A and B are shown apart, each in its own frame.
Chain A
């Protein structure tokens, strides 16, 4: 599509408009680069640029990034999913329990099932019953956390299966953490699906103008149900990765992640209003949040100060991308 050049009109796109359009997209990458350079300079003695530290950032942010990829679809379709964090916790608990009682394959299967199940319910309530996704997933958030506390008696459930721990988050292939591969697989799939696939086009059209999408023959309810399903499946996988990385299942895993996930997507240029979004931006957004956390920790800031600084940086980045 981009390789077509037509000169139908005498005046071409004004350079100003082009800069204004690309600024929104570019500001996240610029911000990322600027922050990276700042941290590299100010933290060169604290080992910010150490390969281990950089891989640590990936370890800490890959799970958020995976959920942010799916969240990009949800936001692009004009919906929202607040249940991802608590669903990840539930998925970690369910996986750990089934793994303990029925073995590796059953555990993995159970983890995938719980995510899909939650997604089907969320999608059904949003599209068939017509409850706004904000409310559906707000309720689901409580239900997931409650369920995982209930079935685990708020205790941590250990995972002793080393294969599982290796595959789902704990292991390294060569110098690279396996989480990096998970993130790459989900990221590339998501990017292709949103950018080059008919499904992605339909998602963007649904979020951009639902009525026009319907008039164009798109079944917008099916599209919305599918993005809700995708988001929940990604959250289910995230919970399994938490379980593998920390070799246990615990209801607190993923607590508050929904905010980081939404922040990552928004930082990456995906609007809450629907109609546009990029998967690459969301991943960069997630890594940027991780990098900020890491940099501020190395700077010796306390967790309380980190929260304040992180909030300010996110607001600043989004405000800059708005300004045109």
Chain B
């Protein structure tokens, strides 16, 4: 097993602390936090030294983002204490955490596109002259000096909208630093960056490290972690698994800790005999989108669930949107039942029997201020009405069926969608998709941010759809549900399908117990890292 070769994490930590004379930049001790009775973090410690790049690792739902939100002052811990540079933080608010010098670089850019780089850096704290006018020239010079200092080649007078994503990310970091932040949190900073930009970013992080800035680095890309981080803290199910220097870790050992030994309540599907599958229903031939994906060929047969694994930015969701007619196809062909189809809108995709459960249920899935019933029948309004008169009887029948089938917990069908829990909202989105009676069902991260019970149910529905002879594509970041849900798994990176894993690859010994399931998860994780490393 991977975790046998690891020394005790706490003693390694102690050695490092002894070397430092300064107090640690961040010292979180015994952090416990629960949301509505669900334990998100239990007794977690995080200690980050000045001048350290500290990787925070863990699967989805491990508690990373909760921990960071507590550090950022967005949530306050139920128990535990936080010290920043030796000073205890007593008040938990964004403002207090900002004043303590903690800055988080968001995945979504917080820069204003219509202003220049210099204007963005000095936003809301512009230096003014004696007449109260903004000293624009001074800002530009100052920004230019900062860029030079960090060896970044950006013209401070350029508009943000004219710069690349990578450049914007660097500007965000410089902006944070210019506000005297000495603790930086980066959450998946490289998901949208090119290789050259990643090099530039890492170069900069190295300099900051030299200058004594403490950096918390969250990423799912293990090759990056090994390349840049000094120390890793690994969380699983809200608990601290390991905190140790990264020096002698390998991708395999880290993945071993991230996946862990804990049994999952997801079970392995029966290995479907190839001969049991029906005809090919959906086929993609050398299809490329405008940006991603590139030259994707795949086919899905009736009764088959094809899983798609890949990291953020691998082109998984673009592929789903292309199949659903949201993103245009640039070249190649989409075929349904062997016939080439043109999908230029979700409307057409639905007509062709394709339904998508989108990744962002609040933005793409639901009209949150409308009732559960309205949301469920939104895609099938014509089916629940006489000519155009919406029949409340037909609506009630459809909605009741779906609510009962998916076990949606709602006070009544008239409850507003925003009043439901995340898991139940996701079920409403699922119900809306299923109500269209799709032949091809695409699910993009169907279990993101929902409770474990709903997760199991969603995966159950996926298997049920396959049993009803539908073709299913399951996109997920979670290895457990990919393995439990899919018949075979395609690995995507950089907009391309890099590899295919069958059941045989994941379960070479044909054993279906918990340890082989965990071993399969580990294999899948390692494979994902491998296809990413040699992009």
Chain A residues in contact with chain B, CB under 8 A?
A: 1-6, 8-9, 11-13, 192, 196-199, 201-202, 204-205, 208-209, 211-219, 275-276
What separation, in Å, do the CA atoms of A211 and B359 have in the docked complex? Answer: 12
- Is the pair B365, A215 in contact by a Cβ cutoff of 8 Å? yes
Name the segment of B11-19, B112-120, B402-410 touching the other chain: B402-410
Q: How far is the CB of A39 from chain B (nearest CB, A)?
A: 35
Contact sample, A vs B, 13 pairs, CB 8 Å cutoff: A1-B414, A6-B410, A8-B408, A8-B412, A197-B385, A198-B381, A201-B381, A201-B390, A212-B366, A213-B367, A214-B345, A216-B346, A217-B350
A214 and chain B: residue at smallest CB distance: B346
| 0/1 interface trace, chain B 329-372, chain A, CB 8 Å (1 if under) | 00000000000000001110110000010100001111111110
Q: How far is the CB of A186 from chain B (nearest CB, A)?
A: 18
Chain B residues in contact with chain A, CB under 8 A?
A: 324, 326, 345-347, 349-350, 356, 358, 363-371, 373-374, 377-379, 381-382, 385, 388-390, 392, 395-396, 399-400, 403, 408-415, 432, 436
Q: How far is the CB of B320 from chain A (nearest CB, A)?
A: 11
- Is the pair B399, A4 in contact by a Cβ cutoff of 8 Å? yes
- Is the pair A219, B347 in contact by a Cβ cutoff of 8 Å? yes
With A1-B413, A9-B411, A216-B432 known as contacts, the answer to whether A201 contacts B403 (CB < 8 A) is no
- Is the pair A204, B370 in contact by a Cβ cutoff of 8 Å? yes
- Is the pair B368, A209 in contact by a Cβ cutoff of 8 Å? yes
What separation, in Å, do the CA atoms of A192 and B392 have in the docked complex? Answer: 13
- Is the pair A198, B388 in contact by a Cβ cutoff of 8 Å? yes
With A196-B389, A208-B369, A215-B365 known as contacts, the answer to whether A4 contacts B346 (CB < 8 A) is no
- Is the pair A216, B363 in contact by a Cβ cutoff of 8 Å? no
What separation, in Å, do the CA atoms of A213 and B324 have in the docked complex? Answer: 14
What separation, in Å, do the CA atoms of A13 and B371 have in the docked complex? Answer: 13
What separation, in Å, do the CA atoms of A198 and B395 have in the docked complex? Answer: 12
Interfacial chain B residues near A201, Cβ < 8 Å: 374, 377-378, 381, 390
Q: How far is the CB of A285 from chain B (nearest CB, A)?
A: 20
Interfacial chain A residues near B436, Cβ < 8 Å: 217
Given contacts A1-B413, A198-B390, A216-B346, could you give 8 more A-B pairs where the C-beta distance is less than 8 Å? A4-B413, A9-B411, A192-B389, A204-B374, A211-B363, A213-B367, A217-B346, A275-B369
Q: How far is the CB of A238 from chain B (nearest CB, A)?
A: 25
Q: How far is the CB of A116 from chain B (nearest CB, A)?
A: 20
Interfacial chain A residues near B415, Cβ < 8 Å: 13
Which of A1, A11, A276 touches B373 (beta carbons < 8 Å)? A1
- Is the pair A197, B400 in contact by a Cβ cutoff of 8 Å? no
Q: How far is the CB of A153 from chain B (nearest CB, A)?
A: 45
- Is the pair A4, B378 in contact by a Cβ cutoff of 8 Å? no
- Is the pair B369, A215 in contact by a Cβ cutoff of 8 Å? no
- Is the pair A209, B388 in contact by a Cβ cutoff of 8 Å? no
B371 and chain A: residue at smallest CB distance: A1
What separation, in Å, do the CA atoms of A307 and B315 have in the docked complex? Answer: 58
Interfacial chain A residues near B367, Cβ < 8 Å: 204-205, 208-209, 212-213, 275
- Is the pair B358, A215 in contact by a Cβ cutoff of 8 Å? yes
B357 and chain A: residue at smallest CB distance: A215
With A204-B370, A208-B369 known as contacts, the answer to whether A213 contacts B413 (CB < 8 A) is no
Using a Cβ cutoff of 8 Å, how many contacts connect chains A and B? Answer: 111
Interfacial chain A residues near B326, Cβ < 8 Å: 214-215
A275 and chain B: residue at smallest CB distance: B369
What separation, in Å, do the CA atoms of A219 and B414 have in the docked complex? Answer: 25
Interfacial chain A residues near B349, Cβ < 8 Å: 217
Name the residue in A3, A198, A214 with the highest tally of chain B Cβ atoms < 10 Å from its Cβ: A198
What separation, in Å, do the CA atoms of A135 and B64 have in the docked complex? Answer: 45
What separation, in Å, do the CA atoms of A3 and B396 have in the docked complex? Answer: 8
- Is the pair A212, B369 in contact by a Cβ cutoff of 8 Å? no
With A6-B412, A13-B412 known as contacts, the answer to whether A212 contacts B388 (CB < 8 A) is no
Interfacial chain A residues near B399, Cβ < 8 Å: 1, 4
Q: How far is the CB of A174 from chain B (nearest CB, A)?
A: 32
Interfacial chain A residues near B388, Cβ < 8 Å: 197-199
What separation, in Å, do the CA atoms of A6 and B404 have in the docked complex? Answer: 10
What separation, in Å, do the CA atoms of A124 and B456 have in the docked complex? Answer: 47
Interfacial chain B residues near A9, Cβ < 8 Å: 409-411
- Is the pair A197, B409 in contact by a Cβ cutoff of 8 Å? no
Q: How far is the CB of A206 from chain B (nearest CB, A)?
A: 9
Name the residue in B363, B366, B378, B409 with the highest tally of chain A Cβ atoms < 10 Å from its Cβ: B378
What separation, in Å, do the CA atoms of A13 and B413 have in the docked complex? Answer: 12
- Is the pair B345, A202 in contact by a Cβ cutoff of 8 Å? no
Interfacial chain A residues near B390, Cβ < 8 Å: 196-198, 201
- Is the pair B389, A197 in contact by a Cβ cutoff of 8 Å? yes
Interfacial chain B residues near A1, Cβ < 8 Å: 371, 373, 392, 395-396, 399, 413-414
Q: How far is the CB of B504 from chain A (nearest CB, A)?
A: 36
What separation, in Å, do the CA atoms of A201 and B383 have in the docked complex? Answer: 13
Interfacial chain B residues near A211, Cβ < 8 Å: 363-364
- Is the pair B409, A2 in contact by a Cβ cutoff of 8 Å? no
Interfacial chain A residues near B377, Cβ < 8 Å: 201
What separation, in Å, do the CA atoms of A199 and B389 have in the docked complex? Answer: 9
Q: How far is the CB of A196 from chain B (nearest CB, A)?
A: 5
B377 and chain A: residue at smallest CB distance: A201
- Is the pair B400, A4 in contact by a Cβ cutoff of 8 Å? yes
Which of B381, B389, B392, B403 touches A3 (beta carbons < 8 Å)? B392
B361 and chain A: residue at smallest CB distance: A212
B436 and chain A: residue at smallest CB distance: A217
Interfacial chain B residues near A209, Cβ < 8 Å: 363, 366-368
A221 and chain B: residue at smallest CB distance: B345
Interfacial chain A residues near B400, Cβ < 8 Å: 4, 6
Name the residue in B409, B412, B415, B436 with the highest tally of chain A Cβ atoms < 10 Å from its Cβ: B412
What separation, in Å, do the CA atoms of A2 and B392 have in the docked complex? Answer: 8
Interfacial chain B residues near A276, Cβ < 8 Å: 369
- Is the pair B379, A217 in contact by a Cβ cutoff of 8 Å? yes
- Is the pair A205, B378 in contact by a Cβ cutoff of 8 Å? yes
A276 and chain B: residue at smallest CB distance: B369
Q: How far is the CB of B257 from chain A (nearest CB, A)?
A: 38
What separation, in Å, do the CA atoms of A1 and B413 have in the docked complex? Answer: 8
Interfacial chain B residues near A208, Cβ < 8 Å: 367-370
